Chains A and B, each alone.
Chain A
């Protein structure tokens, strides 16, 4: 029996899709999804990478005051980036809801408690980042506590992407839906952790480039804020971070690819991903040149680095979509067929509905047949001939109203409440005059 159950549970569900047309051509929705997701994830990267670097700098700042200043300066960017991350997340959320309705919502439901926990968790992390930023000077003397506040926010920020990745991963595998029981079991599906590490590394790389630009802006008065460390020193560190993280991606990337279930891997995916990796190579070379070259030349190729890296990111995001699209194509086809077949059946059934249970006026020759039918539909759930069901029996109605037809009609249309221990009866003003006459005639005929 148990064996049979597991067999049954591992079958693939084929749900029906929402039977409404897409609001825009599919390719346009895909473009919107990929682009808006990139904008969203860019700020998520900066929020996460920024808070990790703030934590690192603040701990280092316990010994070297200059790093404490650096932490404060990076902290100021987190709260802005986090607001943009959230608001920019709405567009890809809408787009994925439209394009992958069944897949996305199914994954959400199967990991439901953790999925909805994103709301309170992220709210808490955001409040902690504000507390950390606005209590900077007040907690000057309590660095341990201050760092712990940020530490907690960082832990939450590190956990949230796991929830998202688990969902995004689970939605690709309808064949697993019958076997998943809650978040933890969905988290354990292959590929979640390699993708997670890949994402963390990307966050650090992108934050490095962002801060390289941020501190070097002309409007940013670096010298008035930092006395003991130079802009070159910070910029070099940021380039090194990006370069190191990018190098590491060359290990993680293949790992992600190997752990991907093979069903979506096709040549189109390999080509896109390899082009993305190739685009990163010149960027890495230019960063190396900057780090190892003369201090005044460190920013020389920054524009080129950004261009090449943007290309990488765009190609990687497209690769992500190509895999999703490949992986789900057969299932989507099945689903579309099923939806179509169902719509046809439903239309047929509408044309020929099953006969009603209470065959209305089936026997016209029985006296009060019409009234009885009205009674069956509207009253019989609560009233029977003898004895209480929900309300009082029909015989009691007869004894009260046998001489008062208008009174009975008025009561049915707008009932009052006489009996303490009975629930309130709803009114039936929707009955037509004809139905009402038939109904009251039938009620008063009951003996």
Chain B
């Protein structure tokens, strides 16, 4: 409504956020939260294994150092930038919701930022002073301690962000209590944190094993020991991760139910949710099989044998994130703002006077027979484009063809009859926000899209049209509409 609409008409806008966020979560869990303690533990082990005259075993220490180097390089480049990327992409695609969230959570995010700065400083100290610390036992022990500090800070960073995530999904809190405390007391908070912690450890361990197979050649002295340690680490955390996954799995529908106006989960949610029933035992047992196998026959382990469970374990986390995202619908901020970025409380006004009347960017403020297609496009941009494309991924034409038959010409009247009631059956959909004329303009535009296969350019390339009926030169549009009522 009030922001130029960035729109990726083939890829789908949410896809951009999703890709950036998932890469970030993978790196955060697999290479920081779960990986650093694994590295600190192995570094410590090197000191313990060394002869009385040595500080650490140099060969072992170098192997662990090289693993840490990979994590250091990836976390401080792709990891850090995808973290910023979440802000950037959310600001582009979902400006009203992220703008609202920042106003409420500024302090929480500021605290998060402080721990994050600490984390970055610690990771630089930990990695960049590694080799220097090998000169004396005292320095080495202090160095290992930094590894543990870093592990703790990575975990705290995760604790805070999980609370913010939990808050965004909790419908009641936004309207009653704008504080971070309610994020921590959110019913899904502990299950989520309990799930993320051991799962990150498993990811860190399996990724570490993968690096062992790459960095320690088959005749190297420490390959078997390092692989067996990886197996121990994984076998220790995998059962916890399994138990936590089951608890989280059970907590999800509850969170979902609270969010929806109706008392049901949707079938789309159920599809993802059912998938979890296979993915949880599947991924965990792959990891356990690898662990046991490595424990018994470390010599026979090859890189590909680790790669498969490694990918499965990351997929495991990925699908959980997808289901979690689904829980939010039809809201982007529970009970306050729908996923089309319109506030629930403004709906009566839009319904009564029209959505375009109050749009900052639109080709016109009122639908007329002449401008039906262009205003229909405006309505689409304002109320559908955050999740739907015209002819790309999750396109509006496709979702209607799925109802009325693929390839069959859409009937404008049926589409117009369906839209105002869609949120009753499809409870993940927000209600349609506009008035009757806008509804028909939208239906005409959808029909037009099916016939022409036309695409829709976002503000990033097409620019914006300032609503001729709502801008600086007609300063009274709001007062006018109030009178016309």
Q: List residues of A whose CB falls within 8 A of some B CB.
A: 8-9, 11-18, 20-24, 79-80, 83-84, 86-91, 93-94, 97-98, 101-102, 104-106, 108-113, 115-116, 118-120, 122-123, 126-127, 130, 177-183, 185, 334, 338, 341-342, 345-346, 348-350, 352-354, 357, 376-378, 380-382, 389-390, 423-430
Contacts and interface: CB of A to CB of B under 8 A. Distances in A.
B294 interface: no
A401 B91 CA distance: 52
B109 A118 contact: no
Judged by DSSP, the binding face of B is: helix
Given A349-B349, A390-B403, A12 B466 contact: yes
Closest 9 CB pairs of A and B: A112-B460, A15-B2, A349-B349, A23-B106, A430-B262, A105-B95, A381-B418, A353-B348, A181-B463
Contacts of B467: 13
11 contacts: A11-B473, A20-B103, A86-B84, A97-B98, A108-B95, A178-B466, A180-B463, A334-B475, A381-B421, A382-B418, A429-B262
Contacts of A80: 124, 128
Contacts of A428: 264, 424-425
Contacts of B404: 389-390
A338 B481 CA distance: 13
B82 interface: yes
A217 to B, nearest CB: 16
Nearest to B344: A350
Given A14-B475, A106-B3, A349-B353, 19 more contacts: A8-B468, A13-B464, A79-B76, A83-B124, A87-B117, A90-B116, A105-B3, A105-B92, A109-B458, A116-B85, A122-B81, A130-B73, A345-B478, A345-B482, A350-B348, A353-B351, A381-B417, A390-B404, A424-B267
Nearest to B106: A23
- For the side of the interface on B, what is the size category? 35 or more
A16 B341 CA distance: 13
B346 interface: yes
A341 B479 contact: yes
A108 B117 contact: no
Contact of B348 (A102, A122, A349): A349
A110 B4 contact: yes
A353 B459 contact: no
Contact of B88 (A118, A380, A389, A423): A118
Given A116-B88, A119-B81, A378-B421, A14 B461 contact: no
A126 B76 contact: yes
Given A9-B465, A23-B107, A83 B89 contact: no
Nearest to A105: B95
A98 B103 contact: yes
A172 B353 CA distance: 32
Contact of A119 (B76, B82, B349, B482): B82
Nearest to B105: A23
A9 B362 CA distance: 11
B3 A8 contact: no
A181 B348 contact: no
Contacts of A382: 403, 418, 425
Contacts of B424: 377-378, 381, 428
Given A338-B478, A341-B479, A353-B348, A378 B425 contact: yes
A14 B360 contact: yes
B113 A90 contact: yes
Contacts of A177: 4, 464, 466
Contacts of B206: none
B145 interface: no
B482 A111 contact: no
A345 B76 contact: no
B96 interface: yes
Contact of A14 (B92, B95, B353, B471): B471
Given A14-B472, A108-B88, A350 B113 contact: no
B264 A427 contact: yes
Contact of A115 (B73, B92, B403): B92
A14 B16 CA distance: 28
Contacts of B338: none
Given A87-B116, A426-B425, A342 B478 contact: yes
A377 B421 contact: yes
A16 B360 contact: yes
Interface in B254-297: 262-264, 266-267
A79 B404 CA distance: 57
B6 A109 contact: yes
Contact of A8 (B89, B92, B266, B465): B465
B464 A110 contact: yes
Contacts of A14: 360, 470-472, 475
A178 B473 CA distance: 14
Contacts of B264: 427-430
A13 B403 contact: no
B315 to A, nearest CB: 23
Contacts of B468: 8, 11
B432 to A, nearest CB: 11
Contact of A11 (B4, B471, B478): B471
A83 to B, nearest CB: 5
B15 to A, nearest CB: 12
Contacts of B402: 423
Given A20-B100, A88-B117, A112 B92 contact: yes
B267 A342 contact: no
Contacts of B76: 79, 83, 126
Contacts of B463: 9, 110, 178-182, 185
Contacts of A380: 417, 421
Contacts of B472: 11-14, 334
B91 A18 contact: no
A282 B366 CA distance: 63
B358 interface: yes
Nearest to B95: A105
Contact of A346 (B82, B102, B349): B349
Nearest to A177: B464
Nearest to A32: B110
Contacts of B425: 378, 381-382, 425-426, 428
B87 interface: yes
B92 A110 contact: no
A410 B424 CA distance: 18
B58 interface: no
A106 B4 contact: yes
B461 A113 contact: yes
Given A91-B110, A105-B95, A108-B92, A23 B104 contact: yes
Interface in B374-417: 402-404, 414, 417
B311 to A, nearest CB: 22
Given A8-B465, A12-B466, A13-B472, A86 B81 contact: yes
B6 A341 contact: no
Given A97-B99, A109-B3, A345 B349 contact: yes
B236 to A, nearest CB: 32
- Identify which of B4, B78, B464 gathers the most chain A CB atoms within 10 Å of its CB: B4
Interface in B113-127: 113, 116-117, 120, 124
B443 interface: no
B48 interface: no
B466 A83 contact: no
Contacts of A123: 77-78, 81-82
A113 B4 CA distance: 13
A22 B404 CA distance: 47
Contact of A354 (B96, B351, B479): B351
B89 A116 contact: yes
Contact of B120 (A9, A87, A122, A334): A87
B5 A109 contact: yes
Contacts of B352: 349, 353-354
Nearest to B86: A119
A432 to B, nearest CB: 11
Given A102-B2, A130-B73, A357 B420 contact: yes
A22 B82 contact: no
